[in-house]
Amino acid sequence: MSAVLAVTNRQTYDAIIIGAGLSGIHQLYRLRELGMKARVFEAGADLGGTWYWNRYPGARFDSESWSYGYSFSDELLNEWDWKEHFSPQSDNLEYLNLVADKFDLRRDMQFSSCVTAAHWDDSANQWTVTLESGETASARFLFTAVGILSAHTLPRVPGLETFRGPAYHTARWPHTPVDFSGKRVGIIGTGASAIQAIPEIAKQAKQLTVFQRRPNWAAPLHNARIGKAEMEEIRNRYSQIYARCATTPGWFIHQPDPRNTLEVPPEEREAFWEKKYAEPGFGIWMGNFSDIQLDEKANAAISAFIASKIRQRVKDPKVADKLIPKDHGFGTRRVPLESGYFEAYNRDNVLLVDVNETPIERITPAGISTRDKEHEFDMLIYATGFDGVTGAFDRIDFRGPGGVRLRDVWADGPRTYLGQLVDGFPNLLMVLGPHTARGNIPRAIEHSVEWQTGLLRFMREHNYIRVETRPEHVAEWTQTVVKAAQRLLSWKVDSWQTGVNRNVEGRSVRRVLGYNGNAVNYRRVTAEVAAGGYREFVFR
| Residue ranges that bind ligand NAP, judged by CB under 6 A | 60-62, 149, 155-157, 170, 188-194, 196, 211, 213-214, 334, 355, 360, 383-386, 496, 503
Q: Which is nearer to ligand NAP, 15 or 171 (CB)?
A: 171
C-beta closer to ligand NAP: residue 233 or 374: 374
Measured CA to CA, the distance from residue 283 to residue 276 in angstroms comes to 6
- Burial zone of 459 (CB within 10 Å; 0-12 exposed, 13-18 middle, 19+ buried): buried
- How far is it, in rounded angstroms, from Cα 393 to Cα 146? 8
Min dist. Cβ of residue 61 to ligand NAP (A): 6
- Shortest reach from residue 501's CB to ligand NAP, in Å: 7
State which residue, 240 or 356, has the beta carbon closest to ligand NAP: 356
- Amino acid sitting at position 427: N
Nearer to ligand NAP, 149 or 418 (CB): 149
Positive or negative, the CA dihedral 305, 202, 280, 173 is positive
Total length of the chain: 540
State the minimum distance, in angstroms, from the CB of residue 270 to ligand NAP.
Answer: 28
Residues 422, 425: Cα–Cα separation, whole Å: 6
CB of 356 to ligand NAP, least distance (A): 9
How, if at all, do strands 167-169 and 136-144 pair?
A: unpaired
DSSP state of 106: G
How far apart are alpha carbons 99 and 80 in whole angstroms? Answer: 9
Distances (CA, A) of 172 to 190, 254, 311, 439: 17, 31, 33, 24
Rounded Cα–Cα distance for residues 167 and 109 (Å): 30
Looking at the DSSP bridge assignments, the partners of residue 178 are none
Residue number, 39 or 507, with CB nearest to ligand NAP: 507
Nearer Cβ to ligand NAP (426/433): 433
We find the least distance from the C-beta atom of residue 154 to ligand NAP, in angstroms, to be 8
Which H or E run includes 101?
helix 89-102
The C-alpha atoms of residue 116 and residue 122 are separated, in whole angstroms, by: 20
Minimum CB separation from ligand NAP for residue 496, in Å?
5
Q: Give the number of other Cβ atoms within 10 Å of residue 179's Cβ.
A: 10
Least spacing, CB of residue 211 vs ligand NAP, in Å: 6
Nearer to ligand NAP, 426 or 499 (CB): 499
CB of 293 to ligand NAP, least distance (A): 16
For ligand NAP, the closer of residues 216 and 469 by Cβ is 216
Closest CB to ligand NAP among residues 350, 429: 350
In the complex, least distance from residue 187 CB atom to ligand NAP, rounded to whole angstroms: 9
| E-only strand ranges, 103-145 | 109-110, 115-121, 126-131, 136-144
In angstroms, rounded to a whole number, what is the distance separating the alpha carbons of residues 83 and 388?
30
